[in-house]
Structure 1
Amino acid sequence: MTRHLAIIGGSGLYQIDGLKDATWAAVQSPFGAPSDEILTGRIDTTTVSFLPRHGRGHVHTPTSIPYRANIDALKRIGVTDVVAVSACGSFQEHMEPGDFVIVDQFIDRTFAREKSFFGTGCVAHVSVAHPVCPVLSATARDAAKATGVTVHDGGTYLAMEGPQFSSMAESRMYRAWGCDVIGMTNMPEAKLAREAELCYASVAMITDFDSWHPDHGAVDISQIIETLHGNAAAARAMVKGIAQALSGDKPLCAAGCDRALEHAIMTSPEARDPDVMARLDAVAGRVLP
Structure 2
Amino acid sequence: MEVEVGIIGGTGVYDPDMLTEIEEKEISTPYGQARVILGSYRGKRLAFLPRHGTGHSVPPHLVNYRANIRALKELGVRSILATAAVGSLNREMKPGQFVLVDQFLDFTKNRPSTFFEGGQAGVVHIDMTEPYCPELRKILKEAAKELGLPVHDRGTYVCTEGPRFETPAEIEMFRRLGGDLVGMTNVPEVVLAREAEICYATVATVTNFAAGISSQLLTHREVLEMMAQSNQNLRRLLMSAVDQILLGESRSCICGRAVSELGQL
The interval holding the TM-score normalised by the smaller chain is over 0.9
- My pick for the range that moved more, 137-146 or 21-30, is 137-146
What percentage of residue pairs aligned between the two structures are identical? 38
Closer, same or farther: CA 175–91 of 1 in aligned 2, 3 Å: same
Alignment of 1:128-139 (within 5 A): 128-139=128-139
Alignment partner, residue 175 of structure 1? 175
Q: Does 2:42 match 1:48?
A: no
Counterpart residue number, 1:249: 248
**Aligned ranges 1:173-212 → 2 under 5 Å:** 173-212=173-212
SS in structure 2 of the partner of residue 48 of structure 1: strand
The range that moved more, 68-77 or 136-145, is 136-145
Structure 2 residues without counterparts, runs of 5 or longer: none
Could you state the TM-score of these two structures normalised by the residue count of structure 2?
Answer: 0.94
Q: Distance in 2 between matches of 1:244 and 1:155?
A: 24
Inter-CA distance 258–250: structure 2 relative to 1 (3 Å threshold): farther
> Residue 47 and residue 142 in structure 1: after superposition, are their counterparts in 2 closer, same or farther (change >3 A)?
farther
Q: How does 1:1-289 map to 2 (within 5 A)?
A: 4-34=4-34, 37-121=35-119, 122-213=122-213, 216-249=215-248, 251=250, 253-264=251-262, 287=265
Unaligned stretches of 5+ residues in structure 1: 267-286
Which amino acid is 1:246 matched to?
A: I
Change in 2 beyond 3 A, CA 1:51/1:208: same
Separation in 2 of the partners of 1:106 and 1:176?
A: 14
Local SS of the residue matching 2:236: helix
CA drift of 1:250 comes to: 5.7
How far has the Cα of 1:146 moved from its partner? 4.0
Q: Larger strand proportion, structure 1 or 2?
A: 2
Which of the pair is proportionally richer in helix? Answer: 2
Structure 2 residue matching 1:188: 3-state secondary structure: helix
Structure-2 change in CA distance of 1:167 and 1:83 (3 Å): same
Tell me the C-alpha RMSD between the 2 structures: 1.6
- Write out per-residue CA displacement over residues 221-275 of structure 1, whole angstroms, 9 at most, x where no aligned residue: 3322211110111111112111211124363x31210000124366xxxxxxxxx
Aligned partners of 1:131 and 1:208: how far apart in 2? 25
Larger Rg: 1
Alpha carbons 1:91, 1:210 under 8 Å: kept? yes
Distance 2:141 2:186 in 1: 18
* Structure 2 CA distance for partners of 1:143 and 1:3, relative to 1, 3 Å: farther
Contact 1:3 1:81 in 2 (8 A): no
Q: Distance in 2 between matches of 1:265 and 1:15?
A: 40
